[in-house]
Amino acid sequence: MDKKEKEEFMKQKRAAYKKARTFGLFLFIVVMAFCCILGLMIPVRPKESVLEKRELAKFPQITVSGVLDGSYFSDISTWYSDSYPLRDVWMSGSNAMKKLYGIKTKQIVSNKGTADEIPVVTKNENEETSEAVTEESEQESVQTEVTTALAESTPAKATAPAQIVLPTDDPSYSLPAITGQTLNGVYVEGDTGYGMYFFNQQAATTYIDMVNRTADTFAGTANVYTMLVPNSEAFYLTDEERAQLEPDWRNEKAATDYYVASFNSNVKNIDIYDVLAAHTDEYIYFRTDHHWTGLGAYYAYTAWAQEKGVDAHALEEYEQVTFPGFTGSYYTETQAAAMEANPDTVIAYKPLTCDRMTFTDTDGNTLNWPIINDVSGYRSTQKYSCFAAGDQPFSYIENPNVANGQACILVKESYADAFVPYLTDHYQFIYWFDYREYNGNITEYIRTVTQTEGINTVDIMFLNGLDPISSIESMNRLNSLMQ
């Protein structure tokens, strides 16, 4: 190749490079313009993330203080990025790329908890502890803002059971897409997630004081039960493993013992820890979700039956329904490829005497619903909502086939969803409140039930996971509802 040919070759090469660079720049501008235009299309912005099982940030309301301190503009930035159109599609693509790295056998995700030391309290110190708890709660529990907010909202009024009218079915209604809770941290081992437990003394004090106060308030008119549900890690990880993974990770058995020892003599605790420990070789907890399974809830039900003095139904008496392909909160939090490849199966057991319930949702709609709902067509992350309509503010069952005049009132979060179906055959009336969503005065509702003609026995049960009651914000809210 002579000099002239070389010059011509280099000229063509430079032209091709320039053309490619121009095209690349043009493509970049087009993509950026498309993304900007897409970002400005407010009507197509999602309001919830199915992938993350949460509501997305809303456009902030403008206030003088927000403009002056800059938080208004910061909230706009958060809204813009959090509710970007096709958010779940982009995240799914990102997760797909990460999965090309290979399956991680062990990992810690979103470790964001700190913990207090768990005090050691013996049962014979119970009454002294109760007094100390009350005093400490009055000093430390900061709940003014929560109480004010609830007072300003429109509360759900207590209605006597006999006055409630069952609505007709609405076939067009579907359960809310968001259900679950924020996790403190998740440890993933293979295809199984374990929730980290971080004990909070202030939250524990608030909860104990509230339960003791309720038991004293209704002493002689209602029985007060507690049920503390541990995470799966309590049975499948050792203290040594927890300490190596996270120094603040606390022992749930020690926490359970502390709570139980701190309850006063008017509180009946249902010990389910040892009952569950005896069945750890069975499918009592999900791998991809923080909840127990229908089977785990069943074993807890047998412990309740023993404490109450009634006969529990044998498991084989129930009709069993199965919903495969469930990926729960641990998968949502971690997006672990091994969990997606090996999802859970939700197994539910239908009550023997009644199959319908009624609930009021967050929008005030009142619906008649199956106690065990067919969720075959639901998203993979929503199949736990087959139990008792999921997390609704207020729900109840009036069993036409049980006429014993007994009522049960549950104050709960999502662990109770799988437990409620087993109670159906033992009570004429069951009412349950999800304190995360309900805005009325639960104590006043309980008082109404105890004074209702035709009800001769009232059982109040606080059924909650140890992890949820370690949130001081949640416990302040619950405490304000139980005043």
Strands 186-189 and 106-109: antiparallel
CA 271 to chain centre: 22
pLDDT at residue 440 in the model: 96
Dump pLDDT digits (tens) for 244-257: 888 888 999 999 99
Residues, the chain: 483
pLDDT at residue 169 in the model: 45
Residues of the chain with pLDDT under 50: 97-103, 129-130, 132-171, 177-182
Instruction: Classify residue 158 as exposed, middle or buried by CB count within 10 Å of its CB (0-12, 13-18, 19+).
Output: middle
pLDDT at residue 106 in the model: 56
pLDDT at residue 348 in the model: 99
CA dihedral of residues 184, 189, 194, 198 (deg, nearest 10): -50
d(CA 411, CA 381): 24
pLDDT at residue 162 in the model: 35
d(CA 215, CA 221): 10
pLDDT at residue 145 in the model: 36
pLDDT at residue 129 in the model: 47
d(CA 245, CA 448): 48
pLDDT at residue 182 in the model: 39
Reading the block at residue 233, the tokens are 């890690």
Secondary structure of residue 292 in the 3-state scheme: strand
Sign of CA dihedral 331, 278, 391, 213: negative
Dump pLDDT digits (tens) for 291-337: 999 999 999 999 999 999 999 999 999 999 999 999 999 998 888 99
| 474 torsion bin: left (phi>0), alpha (psi -120 to 50), beta (else) | alpha
Rounded to 5 degrees, φ, ψ at 232 are -65, -30
**Half-sphere exposure of residue 328: CA atoms within 13 angstroms, side-chain side:** 30
Strands 406-412 and 429-434: parallel
Largest Cα span, the chain: 110
**Half-sphere exposure of residue 67: CA atoms within 13 angstroms, side-chain side:** 4
